Amino acid sequence: MTAHDWNALVRERLASLAVDPARQLDVVDELAGHVAEQYAELVAAGVDEARAVAEALAPLDERARAAAATAPRALPLAGESPRRERLAMLGYHMRHACRMLLRERGFAASAVLTLALGVGANVAMFAVVDAVLLRPLPYSNANALVVLKHRDERTGITKEFIAIGDYVDIAARQQSFSALGAYGTQRATVFDMGDPFEVSALLATSGVFDALGVEPVSGRVLNPGDSRPGAAHVAVIGYQFWQQRFGGDRRAIGRGIRIDGDNCQIVGIAPPGFRFPPNAAADVILPSAIPLAAPASRQSDWRFAVARLKPGVSLEAAAANLTAISTQLADAYPSQNRASEYLAVPLRDALVGSSQTALWLLFGAVGVLLVVACVNVANLMLARALSRRREIATRRALGASPGHLAAQFIAESLALALAAAAAGILMAQWGTRTLLSLVPRSLVVTGLAEVQINRAVLAFTVALSIATALSFGLLSMLTTRSDTGSTAFTTGRATLGRSTRRAASALVIGEVALALVLLVGAGLILRTFARLASVDPGFRGDHVVTLTTQLPADRYRDSAGRQAFYRRAFESLRALPEVQAVGVAAVIPLTGNNWSVPFERADQPVGGGQRPPDVGWQTASAGYFAAMHIPLLAGRLFDDRDRPDGPRVVVVSRTLERRFFAGESAVGRRANVDGVIAEIIGVVGDIRRASLANEPRPDLYYSSEQVPMTTTTWFVRTGADPARLASILLTHLHAIEPQILGLDSRRMADVERESTQVTRLVLWLIGLFAVTALALAAVGVYGVMSYVIRQRTREIGLRVALGATRAAIVQLVMRQGLAIAVGGTVLGVAIALAAARTLEGLLYGIAPRDVTTLAVASATLIGTTLCACYIPARRAARIDPARTLTES
Partner 1 sequence: MGSTRNFRNGSAEFLILSLVGERERHGYELAKLIERRSGGAITFHVASLYPTLYRLERRGLIIGRWIERAGQRRRRFYRLTPDGRDTLAAQRRSWKAFFTALTRVARLGNA
Residues that bind partner 1 (CB under 8 A): 26-27, 29-38, 58-60, 62-64, 393-394, 397-399, 486, 489-491
Nearer to partner 1, 399 or 440 (CB): 399
Nearer to partner 1, 39 or 660 (CB): 39
To the nearest whole angstrom, how small is the minimum distance from the Cβ of residue 391 to partner 1? 11
To the nearest whole angstrom, how small is the minimum distance from the Cβ of residue 883 to partner 1? 14
To the nearest whole angstrom, how small is the minimum distance from the Cβ of residue 361 to partner 1? 54
Nearer to partner 1, 10 or 820 (CB): 10
Report which DSSP code applies to 178: E
Amino acid at 75: L
Measured distance CA(671)–CA(752) in Å, rounded: 32
Nearer to partner 1, 77 or 533 (CB): 77
To the nearest whole angstrom, how small is the minimum distance from the Cβ of residue 4 to partner 1? 12
To the nearest whole angstrom, how small is the minimum distance from the Cβ of residue 99 to partner 1? 20
To the nearest whole angstrom, how small is the minimum distance from the Cβ of residue 33 to partner 1? 5
Enumerate the H helices of 74-145 as residue ranges: 82-103, 105-129
> What's the angle, vertex CA 113, arms to CA 464 and CA 427, rounded to 5?
65
Task: Give 364-400 as a 3 state SS string.
Answer: HHHHHHHHHHHHHHHHHHHHHHHHHHHHHHHHHHCCC
Report which DSSP code applies to 130: I
To the nearest whole angstrom, how small is the minimum distance from the Cβ of residue 479 to partner 1? 24
Nearer to partner 1, 64 or 127 (CB): 64
Nearer to partner 1, 12 or 686 (CB): 12
Measured distance CA(397)–CA(54) in Å, rounded: 24
C-alpha distances in Å from residue 230, one per residue of 234, 270, 287: 12, 24, 11
Nearer to partner 1, 354 or 490 (CB): 490
To the nearest whole angstrom, how small is the minimum distance from the Cβ of residue 494 to partner 1? 13
To the nearest whole angstrom, how small is the minimum distance from the Cβ of residue 59 to partner 1? 4
Measured distance CA(226)–CA(234) in Å, rounded: 7
Instruction: Please report the DSSP string for 636-693 in residue order.
Output: ----TTS-TTS--EEEEEHHHHHHHHTTS--TT-EEEETTEEEEEEEEE-----S-TT
Closest CA to 355 of 848, 838, 758, 765: 758
To the nearest whole angstrom, how small is the minimum distance from the Cβ of residue 41 to partner 1? 8
Nearer to partner 1, 38 or 500 (CB): 38
Measured distance CA(387)–CA(416) in Å, rounded: 18
To the nearest whole angstrom, how small is the minimum distance from the Cβ of residue 888 to partner 1? 8
Measured distance CA(869)–CA(508) in Å, rounded: 12
To the nearest whole angstrom, how small is the minimum distance from the Cβ of residue 483 to partner 1? 16
Measured distance CA(602)–CA(803) in Å, rounded: 92
Closest CA to 6 of 56, 68, 63, 49: 56
Nearer to partner 1, 494 or 553 (CB): 494
Nearer to partner 1, 6 or 625 (CB): 6
Coil/strand/helix, residue 715: strand
Closest CA to 759 of 834, 696, 845: 845
Measured distance CA(598)–CA(615) in Å, rounded: 6
Instruction: Please report the DSSP string for 504-540 in residue order.
Output: HHHHHHHHHHHHHHHHHHHHHHHHHHHHHHT---SS-
Nearer to partner 1, 154 or 390 (CB): 390
The number of beta carbons lying within 10 Å of the beta carbon of residue 353 is 15
Amino acid at 670: R
Nearer to partner 1, 41 or 215 (CB): 41
Amino acid at 619: T
Nearer to partner 1, 394 or 706 (CB): 394
To the nearest whole angstrom, how small is the minimum distance from the Cβ of residue 90 to partner 1? 25
Q: Please provide the distance, in angstroms rounded to a whole number, between the alpha carbons at the two ends of the chain.
A: 46
Residue 230 zone, left/alpha/beta (φ > 0; ψ -120 to 50; rest): left
Coil/strand/helix, residue 161: strand
Closest CA to 241 of 201, 209, 211: 201
Measured distance CA(745)–CA(217) in Å, rounded: 37
